[in-house]
A and B are shown apart, each in its own frame.
Chain A
């Protein structure tokens, strides 16, 4: 490994890692919120993200963009996409909770059963898109449901400014800034608003929360709604950045996003942000030295090492009081 190579690759890798890490972080929020309230790994959350990318694609196809946008038109379009994708993904997450988790919760089932239900729901949603939604709604040939579905170009890839040898492009900046804004908004909502207090109360002590008049079902639904909406935003940003999606897109990202959530401290909103961005950076930095094929291995080894020293992640569990 030539030192010059490392120097040449460091800057661009960092920008790429920041942009992709922001998407990890947005998806990680959904895992972390559901875990904080229900202590459940919502395995089907990756599919909620996948649905978000398709919701955004659907709108873009309707609008039928002829050329990339810029300025106010771009902001307006992004807002439209985000609102639609938040609604669709949030709705899908609430529906998922209703169908796959609520019956189990009612019967006081084990969390293991919920995990299997989640895996089942995940398989079902993937196949639903591959077999029915993509061919019918997105007008692909019947066997084309498993192929990548391309989207139009929304933003031009102009270089905005450079830091050293690293060019920062418009699309990358939008991803990072939009993700940060959404996370700040969510953090405010959870920490400052009335319903946010309900979420925190439920996460801390569900029984006391019930006695205080909090509707548990309402809070759970809200948690899924918010987490799903964040995955919807991630879907929009993903589609804008990569301009292609497929029925399987959530799988790899979902595992990484969950890893991010655990890395930062699951149940902790700021932990999800930190974990996501760290993971994106570490993967890209590691790839400089070891090659891109080792990205996942690097990510998991870092996770194990962090957990050995901080068993509840970097920032610890804090949506609820830390449960040892």
Chain B
């Protein structure tokens, strides 16, 4: 052992540290330089790199599309979109969004995308008085806190669960239902709401729960087979609902399979397989511009495809509409968070791509439409509004 070697080691460590800090420093100045005087910063928060990023990224793309279109018109005040990756995790959302409001000084936020992170991070936005519009957090409890800066532009699970239950009762003439959910917050909420509606309408309900990440659902399948229900409602995400559907069909269960927005996704159909998923009823409080739709939504879908090279997916139009709300606020001359929030409360209804948007005083959107989709020949297909479809 010699002192020389020690020195060499210290030198290596120091150089490494400097290189790393230089990288970090470069990154910071880059993002700071972007914000000019005539720019309003709008944030987008959600799971951009985590397990559920597939249902958040389309919304981010929607927001980016709207903002890029606006900025391309060379307006006097531009809008800049800053992304905040929370990985859908409440403990990451808090520090990331604290920084967004204290240092980046965003004037508004699209998101947080999920309900769990919203519960933890929305109080920070509330305290900082930054208006936020979630495109996909559907937990009913979020509206009960008296938050003044919180908004969402989709119906909540207490609307969605019963809406799809009513649709099923109306169209399937069901007497018995089997309600299944996984162990996540969203899943329990929507499954409970649906089960309650079934019971209220005189449908006999049996239940079972599965575990997130499970792959063998044989015990649940056995229970369903023993109960012989007319229909099955699943609250949860595609990673479980897909394999569950396949295993149900493989064991000869033919009852209609229905699920909420966690499964309204091509991923569900792929994971279940086209034949097992065929005819499954999938609901969403969102409008996905796919297939049969025409007119404005088709135009929007084409723009999306041109820009991002793929078909638009879930919560894309909602992301676009949320960004449009902020853009309109800026257009009307509001550049501070307070003023933007006032604008959101008082503005005329926005004729958005997803729905006509007008907020209630508690931040919920007035139009609580739920839309029904199905799986047809291995593709997601649009059926219509839950109250209209036959």
A/B contact in complex, CB under 8 angstroms: yes
Q: How far is the CA of A246 from the CA of B243 in the complex (A)?
A: 12
**Chain B 195-211 against A: per-residue CB contact (8 Å), 1 yes, 0 no?**
00000000000001111
In the assembled complex, B242 has its CB within 8 A of some CB on chain A? yes
In the bound complex, residues from chain B placing their C-beta under 8 Å from that of A312 are none
Asked whether B225 lies within 8 Å of A12 as measured between CB atoms, the reply is yes
Are A293 and B243 touching (Cβ within 8 A)? no
Q: Which of A55-63, A145-153, A203-211 contacts B (4 or more CB under 8 A)?
A: A145-153
On chain B, the residues within 8 Å of A141 by CB distance are 310
Query: A12-B222, A19-B218, A238-B215 are contacts. A291–B208 as well, Cβ < 8 Å?
Result: yes
Q: Is the pair A287, B219 in contact by a Cβ cutoff of 8 Å?
A: yes
Decide if the interface of chain A is mainly helix, strand, loop or mixed. Answer: helix
Question: For the complex, what is the distance from the CA of A13 to the CA of B223, rounded to whole Å?
Answer: 9
Which chain A residues numbered 147 to 167 have a C-beta less than 8 Å away from chain B? 147-148, 150, 153, 157, 167
Report the nearest B residue to A166, measured CB to CB. Answer: B222
Known A150-B273, A244-B271; contact A292-B219, beta-carbon cutoff 8 A? yes
We find that the number of chain A residues with CB closer than 8 angstroms to chain B is: 40
Using A146-B50, A148-B267, A244-B242 as known contacts, say yes or no to A291 and B218 having CB atoms under 8 A apart: no
Q: What is the CB-to-nearest-CB distance from A258 to chain B, in angstroms, rounded to a whole number? A: 16
Instruction: Please state if B223 and A242 are interface contacts (CB–CB under 8 Å).
Output: no
Chain B residues near A150: list those with CB within 8 A: 242, 270-271, 273
A9, A148, A244, A249: most-surrounded residue (chain B CB, <10 A): A148
User: In the complex, what's the smallest C-beta–C-beta distance from A276 to chain B, in angstroms?
Assistant: 13
Q: Known interface pairs A13-B218, A252-B215. Does A292 touch B57 (Cβ–Cβ under 8 Å)?
A: no
Out of B222, B243, B267, which one reaches A13, CB within 8 Å?
Answer: B222
Q: Is the interface of B mostly helix, strand, loop or mixed?
A: helix
Q: How far is the CB of A294 from chain B (nearest CB, A)?
A: 9
Shortest C-beta distance, A296 to chain B (Å), equals: 7
| Interface size class, chain B | 35 or more
- Of chain B, the residue at the smallest CB distance from A296 is B211
By a CB distance below 8 angstroms, the chain A residues around B226 are 5, 8-9
B221 within 8 A of partner (CB): yes
B218 in contact with A284 (CB, 8 Å): yes
Does B54 contact A143, Cβ atoms closer than 8 Å? yes
* Inter-subunit contact A12/B209 (CB<8 Å): no
B343 beta carbon closer than 8 Å to chain A: no
Which residues of B line the A interface, CB within 8 A? 49-54, 57, 183, 208-211, 213-223, 225-226, 238-239, 242-243, 246-247, 250-251, 267, 270-271, 273, 310
Q: 30 A-B contacts, Cβ less than 8 Å apart? A: A9-B219, A9-B223, A12-B225, A17-B218, A19-B218, A20-B216, A20-B218, A143-B54, A146-B51, A148-B242, A148-B267, A150-B271, A150-B273, A157-B250, A242-B216, A242-B246, A244-B243, A244-B271, A248-B51, A249-B215, A252-B215, A253-B215, A284-B219, A287-B223, A291-B209, A292-B208, A292-B211, A292-B217, A293-B208, A293-B210
